[in-house]
Amino acid sequence: MNKDPNDVAITGVGLVSCHGVGREAHLALLDADAAPPPVIDTQRFAPYPVHPLPEIDWSQQIPRRGDQRQMENWQRLGVFTAGLALDDAGLKGDTETCGSMDMIVAAGGGERDIDVDTLIVNEAATRDDRDQLLNEKLTTELRPTLFLAQLSNLLAGNISIVHKVTGSSKTFMGEEGAGVSAVATAFERIRAGQSTHALVGGAYNAERADMHILFEGIQGLARGGWQPLWTRDGMVTGSAAAFLVLESRAHAEARGATVYAIIAAVGGDRGRRADGGLEQRLTALADATGASDLSRPLILSGASGLQDLAQREKAFADTTWPDAALRGYAGLTGHALEAQFPLGVALAALALKHGTAVPPFDTDNEAAMAAPAATALVTAVGFVHAEGLAVLKADRPT
């Protein structure tokens, strides 16, 4: 590929999912002869299955116990995984480089106090003055520190405190679309020469009863035991986080960094999906990013598991890239909302760097790869709204 000083290089990968902690645990998924059995918990939130976090020694990336205690699980997971990415890029402890590093985070809302929610609901069943009841409980039951812990931009704040990443900071909210916007913004800033290096990613804690209630409000969750992604009807969420260190090629080469892959393009959009709207936007994204012209790409689909959307995305991919190797990674990791798109980009970078012929994650609906791919596409089709597409290319000698 032609090399440009402002090419956007991935130089650090931090990953946590139900399959383990770090790069090697996830490379093993991509370089295996067959997809591993699912890591799934069907009991704690029955009837809804969930992909749980693995065992994590938080002190490896968050050494101070005081820092650990004041974070909720999703923040702790994000700060930990950001540290993995900085370590992988060789930048952990480099105060000068981290001090000028931009940070762009995809985050959801804070975790709720389930005990207080339950108290309010139970008392509301016996009172008619529910507005007054709510005000009473807001002033007597919620700790001021809980409000602070729920701020979405505190994930970025805690990364700054723990890892000394103190350049500009931006946080996006909005489920899958937040992850697309985070990666796209970092990409565009580096391509335009407005930034030389950035930390970008997100985290999601799926082990929350309040989130299951929200998703079930639209009947969006799968029930019972695990089923393959392309044939299930509903999401199986997963606790996961992914952070990436992105650098301009010039910045990476100047410090002798290892390059996983080059991000060639990122695009996102949202709008009505009825009457072919979804397919029209996916076509526009594929054309705008140059993805339409690719041959034999690896496609890492961020499909959520909602059957109608999953089947429409799969039909689009099969038509547009009939020779592609489609892989729905939520079948392995669960759906990780804000972290879903960064997770797909991280997996794609690992596959391209190591030249792996990624095994089918669903042998009934995904074809085997004859050879490793030189290009990868990462897609996002949000469970309610937002679409995204990233094109990654292996950084091979010209």
Per residue of the chain (398 residues), give pLDDT as tens: 678 999 999 999 999 999 999 999 999 999 999 999 999 999 999 999 999 999 999 999 999 999 998 888 999 999 999 999 999 999 999 999 999 999 999 998 766 667 777 888 888 888 888 889 888 887 887 665 555 555 788 899 999 999 999 999 999 998 999 999 999 999 999 999 999 999 999 999 999 988 998 899 899 999 998 899 999 999 999 999 999 999 999 999 999 999 999 999 999 999 999 999 999 999 999 999 999 999 999 999 999 999 999 999 999 999 999 999 999 999 999 999 999 999 999 999 999 999 999 999 999 999 999 999 999 999 999 999 999 999 999 997 65
Question: What is the structure's pLDDT at 1?
Answer: 65
238, 285: one domain: no
Question: What is the structure's pLDDT at 186?
Answer: 98
Q: Is residue 176 a part of any domain in this protein?
A: yes
Cβ neighbours of residue 98 closer than 8 Å, sequence gap 6 or more:
86, 91, 163, 164, 165, 166
188, 153: one domain: yes
Is the pTM higher than 0.85? The answer reads yes
Q: Is residue 306 a part of any domain in this protein?
A: yes
Question: 207 and 50 in contact (C-beta within 8 Å)?
Answer: yes
Question: What is the structure's pLDDT at 151?
Answer: 73
Name the β-bridge partners of 50: 41
Distance CA 53, CA 21 (A): 9
134, 268: one domain: no
Question: Does residue 20 sit in helix, strand or coil?
Answer: strand
28, 162: one domain: yes
Q: What are phi and psi of 71, to 5 degrees?
A: -100, 145
Determine the angle formed by the axes of helices 23-30 and 340-354, rounding to 10 degrees.
70
Residue 193 C-alpha from the chain's centroid: 25
Question: 106 and 338 in contact (C-beta within 8 Å)?
Answer: yes
Chosen domain end from 99, 127, 145: 145
Alpha carbons within 13 A on the beta-carbon side of 33: 0
Peptide bond into 38 cis (omega under 30): no
Residue 147, exposed/middle/buried by CB under 10 A (0-12, 13-18, 19+)? exposed
Distance CA 12, CA 77 (A): 17
Strand locations in 94-139, DSSP E? 102-106
Residue 15 C-alpha from the chain's centroid: 9
Question: What is the structure's pLDDT at 345?
Answer: 98
367, 355: one domain: yes
Q: Is residue 2 a part of any domain in this protein?
A: no
277, 133: one domain: no
Question: 330 and 5 in contact (C-beta within 8 Å)?
Answer: no
Q: What is the CA radius of gyration of the chain?
A: 21
Question: 349 and 260 in contact (C-beta within 8 Å)?
Answer: yes
Distance CA 58, CA 67 (A): 10
Alpha carbons within 13 A on the beta-carbon side of 223: 4
The domain of 234 spans 8-112+146-254
Chosen domain end from 254, 284, 309: 254
250, 107: one domain: yes
130, 53: one domain: no
Question: What is the structure's pLDDT at 143?
Answer: 60
249, 299: one domain: no
Question: What is the structure's pLDDT at 315?
Answer: 97
Residue 314 C-alpha from the chain's centroid: 20
H/E segment holding residue 389: strand 387-393
Question: What is the structure's pLDDT at 140?
Answer: 82
Distance CA 233, CA 147 (A): 35
Question: 374 and 360 in contact (C-beta within 8 Å)?
Answer: no
The tokens 């009841």 sit on which residue?
133
Distances in whole angstroms, Cα of residue 327 to Cα of each of 30, 297, 298, 363: 10, 11, 8, 10
Q: Is residue 3 a part of any domain in this protein?
A: no
Q: Is residue 1 a part of any domain in this protein?
A: no
Question: What is the structure's pLDDT at 144?
Answer: 55
Q: Is residue 398 a part of any domain in this protein?
A: no
Question: 183 and 192 in contact (C-beta within 8 Å)?
Answer: no
Distance CA 264, CA 367 (A): 25
Distance CA 247, CA 196 (A): 6
Number of domains the chain is built from? 3
157, 74: one domain: yes
Q: Is residue 179 a part of any domain in this protein?
A: yes
Question: What is the structure's pLDDT at 308?
Answer: 96
CATH code for the domain of 285: 3.40.47.10
218, 273: one domain: no
Cβ neighbours of residue 336 closer than 8 Å, sequence gap 6 or more:
17, 202, 204, 206, 237, 238, 239, 240, 241, 242, 330, 343
Q: Is residue 91 a part of any domain in this protein?
A: yes
Chosen domain end from 196, 231, 254: 254
Q: What are phi and psi of 292, to 5 degrees?
A: -60, -30
233, 293: one domain: no
